Amino acid sequence: MKAAVYTQYGAPEVLQVKELAKPSPKNNEILIKIHATSVTSGDCRLRKADPFAVRFIFGLFKPKKNVLGGVLSGEVEAVGENVTKFKAGDAVFGSSYPDFGAYAEYICLPENGKLAIKPQNISHEEAAALPFGGMTALHFLQKANIQPGQKVLVYGASGAVGSAAVQIAKYLGAEVTGVCSTGNMEMVRSLGADHVIDYTKTDFSTTGVQYDVVYETVNKASVASCIAALKKNGTLVLGASMPKEMLQGTWASMTSAVKVISGVSDETAESVHFLKKMTEEGKMKAVVDKIFPLADIAAAHAYVDKGHKKGNVVVGLI
């Protein structure tokens, strides 16, 4: 089978398409023929080993896992003898994290993994765009305990996580304000945002409006400006923070009435089923910026590295 392989950290060009052996499912696994995957910010960070701490988990001098790709949509080709949840021919989508491996034509995953039957009302390319941003946004918004009627601001509302966060917060009954660039305002409105702020023209922290929850999805707005936009006892979600911002958030939570949430999101099968339900109800729309073939995986990574994508960048394998 064809797979995008990397054996050293670095620029997008370290990714090379090679032939690997097709895997066989164990007793509790399903073999999936992958139709589409996505290039996520997490994939790019692992490829670059940025931050450096990535190396302590995934390989100090070279990557231990040579095939990236943490999300997928495809068709079950075969099942292990103990599998009962899926059968050959099922269209499925979900996450392969933390083992990755979705930059390939085939993958074996446990039947109890983070998978669900693909919604029939979307394509494989759209389904592959749902899990990363959707599960991340759902995790943090549930941590923030969003309540109907609350005011929620999503900074970075046009990205993979932000576009999902706008829709999930709206689904949970919040009044949602999205912050994005000029060119993405209409798209964010189309996702259900009640208000949209163009960060190139307006500083959201100086408008006088205060929010119950501020969700910073891209680590570009300062912690101080986010806190300035919060109501007393409000919640700040630092969904893409690095150690510096985490420390600032910890200090803020110790010295003020602000609650700060950060860390790594938890992916579960329940999260995938939540996204499936929203999608089937027409409440979740996958945002796909561009679709690249596997042969152009390096170009896909280079595009994501620019930091201006709308929603998700998908890699098609069929």
Residue at 237 is within a domain: yes
Residue at 275 is within a domain: no
pLDDT at 120: 96
- Dig out the tokens for 116 from the structure: 């669900």
Residue at 11 is within a domain: yes
pLDDT at 189: 98
Domain identity same for 176 and 82: no
Domain identity same for 33 and 62: yes
Fill in the amino acid letter for 30: I
Residue at 9 is within a domain: yes
pLDDT at 151: 98
Domain identity same for 35 and 111: yes
- Dig out the tokens for 138 from the structure: 């759902």
Domain identity same for 189 and 303: no
- The CATH number given to whatever domain includes residue 291 is 3.90.180.10
Residue at 178 is within a domain: yes
Residue at 71 is within a domain: yes
Q: Give the whole-angstrom CA distance, residue 146 versus residue 141.
A: 6
Q: Which residue has the tokens 């494989």?
A: 124
Domain identity same for 118 and 197: no
pLDDT at 318: 81
Domain identity same for 139 and 243: yes
Q: What is the mean pLDDT, run by run of 10 residues, along the chain of 318 residues?
A: 98 98 98 98 94 91 96 98 97 96 98 97 97 96 97 97 98 98 97 98 96 97 96 95 88 88 91 98 96 98 94 94
3-state secondary structure of 40: coil
Query: Is the alpha carbon torsion for 308, 38, 312, 96 positive or negative?
Result: negative
Domain identity same for 8 and 82: yes
pLDDT at 253: 85
Angle value at C-alpha 93, between 168 and 4, nearest 5 degrees: 115
Chain segment 252-297, per-residue pLDDT in tens = 888 888 999 998 888 899 999 999 999 999 999 999 999 999 999 9
Please say whether the beta carbons of 24 and 31 come within 8 A.
yes
pLDDT at 3: 98
Residue at 306 is within a domain: yes
Number of domains into which the chain is organized? 2
Residue span of the structural domain in which 215 resides:
133-261
pLDDT at 254: 85
Q: Give the whole-angstrom CA distance, residue 155 versus residue 75.
A: 35
Q: Give the whole-angstrom CA distance, residue 193 versus residue 178.
A: 6
pLDDT at 135: 97
- CB neighbour class for 107 (10 Å; exposed up to 12, middle 13-18, buried from 19): buried
Domain identity same for 174 and 189: yes
pLDDT at 81: 96
pTM of this prediction? 0.94
pLDDT at 256: 87
